[in-house]
Homo-oligomer: A and B are copies of this chain.
Amino acid sequence: MDGAEKPLNSLRYNNEMSLFVAVDIGGTHMRAASYTSDSLEPLKHNKVETLASEAGGFERLLGVIESIWPSGESVEAIGLGSPGPLDPHTGYLLAPPNNPEWHNFPLAPKISEHFGVKAYLDNDANLAGLAEYRYGAGQGHHHVLYLTISTGVGGGVIIDDRLLQGYHGLAAELGHSIVEPHGEICSCGFAGHLEAYSSGTAIVKRFCSELEAGSRSSLKRGDEITAQSIAEAAMAGDPLANQVYQRAGEYLGIAVASFLHTFDPSIVIFGGGVSQVGDLLFKPFHASLQNRVFYPRYLEGVTFTNAALGDNAGLLGALALARMMSGK
C-alpha cells in the first residue's frame, strides 16, 4: 500500500542496492565482506589478524569492517559470527576463548551503534550450519543437522526451516552431548562429551596417551603429532593411528544416532578439518550409526555429506544471518 505512492523505479533501485556486511571472527583472523542482497560473491573483502590476547581487538575489528564498507551505498544489516558462548538475542559475547577483553561484551550493539545499521550475532557453528542450509550442501532441505569436527565439535541445527537457538541462545551445543558419562574429560572440564572423543584435540590426546603407554606406531614421541599427521599415518597402515580414528568414528556414530532420534533430520552435513579425512573416520562412523539407530525409518532417504562451503562457511553464515533477520 505504501509502495503505491512511490515511483516504481525508485523501489526497484532501493531493492537492488540493499547491501549486507558479514563478519567472521575466527581464532586466527577476523574477516569481513560486503554483499548485495542476492549474490554470494563479495563486493569487497578483507581480513586482519585476531590477536585475541592483545588489546585493541575491537578497534582492529572496526578497521577491517570499515575497509570493506561499501561507499555511498546503504547497508541493510551486519551479520557477525564468533566462537561462543554468546547471546544471539542480545548480541553480547559472554566468554569467548582466549579473549578476556570481550567477556560479557556487547559486540552487536556496539557495532550497530558505530555503523548506524542493525547488527546480529550468532556462534560460528550455528552460522556454518545456516550457511550450508541456505547456500551449501543443505539447500532444499527443511531439517538439517550440521556438525563441525575440528579442534572442537560444534553443531548447527535447522528445524522446519528455522535456526535452532533456544531460550538463552545456547542450543545446539552438540559437542557437549554426553556420550560416555564416566568417560574422557572434555576441553570444557566435564566428563564424557562427544568433543572429548571425536574432535581433533581428542584424537591427538588419545594417540599420545596410547604412545606414552607403550603402543607402537610409525609416529614417535617428539614428532609433530596432529590430527592430520595421525590421519596420514593411519592411511599408511599404522595400526594405532587407525585404532584412534576408529574410536572417534564409533563415538560420532553413537552421538549422531541420538541426534537422529532427537531431531530426525533429512540431511547430516559434516564440516571442519577432521571431517576431511574421509573413510578413516566415516567408515567406523557409519558402522556404528547403523548399529545404534533404533528404528530403520530414521535413515530412509537421509543424506550424509560433507560441507560444501569450506572456509567460506563463516562469512556466508554471517551473511545468511543478516539476510534472514532482514527477511531476505
A residues near B (Cβ < 8 Å) are: 85, 94, 142-143, 159-160, 162, 164-174, 176-181, 186, 188-190, 193, 251, 254-255, 257-258, 261-266, 292, 294-295, 297-298, 300-302
| Alpha-carbon separation in the docked complex, A188 to B296 (Å) | 12
User: With a CB–CB cut-off of 8 A, which chain B residues contact A179?
Assistant: 178, 181
Identical chains bound together, number: 2
Q: Identify the closest chain B residue to A167 (Cβ).
A: B266
Contact A264 B169 (CB under 8 A): yes
User: With a CB–CB cut-off of 8 A, which chain B residues contact A295?
Assistant: 85, 170, 173, 188
| Alpha-carbon separation in the docked complex, A166 to B164 (Å) | 13
Contact A176 B85 (CB under 8 A): no
| Known interface pairs A171-B261, A178-B179; 9 further A-B residue pairs with C-beta atoms within 8 A, sorted by A's residue number | A85-B297, A162-B162, A168-B264, A170-B297, A176-B261, A186-B294, A190-B294, A193-B294, A258-B258
| Alpha-carbon separation in the docked complex, A171 to B254 (Å) | 17
Contact B292 A168 (CB under 8 A): no
Known: A166-B143, A167-B143. A262 touches B294 (CB 8 A): no
Contact B297 A94 (CB under 8 A): yes
| Alpha-carbon separation in the docked complex, A168 to B296 (Å) | 11
Contact A298 B263 (CB under 8 A): no
Contact B294 A258 (CB under 8 A): no
